Amino acid sequence: MISIKMSIIYLFILTSTAFAGRGAELFKTCIRCHGVNGEGKLAEKSPQIAGQHEWYTIKALNDFISGARKNPVMLPYIKNLSQSDFAELSAYIRKLKVK
């Protein structure tokens, strides 16, 4: 029989991998412009975003949505995402390292 302690550990592993997995999944749409490691692309005029603080990434995304910052090329990719999507994306981006 699995102990309660083990169940909690399994649950933790399951939810934490699901969390990371969703960030990676969501990031796939960003790769075209920001690169696979978030290194940015001069040709797309898209900045490096890898390693950025989560609060900054979340603020930037919300500023694009609100129009406080204009980014018409990127808007279609983020306009249908939720705040929890932004949180997961920003956590994933925070861990990216430019090679």
Query: Residue 63 CB, nearest distance to ligand HEC (Å)?
Result: 8
Cα-based torsion angle of the residue sequence 71, 75, 79, 84 in order, rounded to the nearest 10 degrees: -70
Is 34 exposed, middle or buried (CB count within 10 Å of its CB: 0-12, 13-18, 19+)? buried
The nearer residue to ligand HEC, 5 or 28, going by C-beta atoms, is 28
List interacting residues with ligand HEC (CB under 6 A): 29-30, 32-34, 44-47, 49, 57, 60-61, 69, 71, 73-74, 77-78, 89
The nearer residue to ligand HEC, 8 or 44, going by C-beta atoms, is 44
The nearer residue to ligand HEC, 10 or 55, going by C-beta atoms, is 55
Of 72, 64, 89, 77, the closest CA to residue 32 belongs to 77
Query: Residue 52 CB, nearest distance to ligand HEC (Å)?
Result: 7
N-terminal to C-terminal alpha carbon distance within the chain = 45
Tokens of 8: 């909690």
The nearer residue to ligand HEC, 7 or 95, going by C-beta atoms, is 95
Query: Residue 44 CB, nearest distance to ligand HEC (Å)?
Result: 5
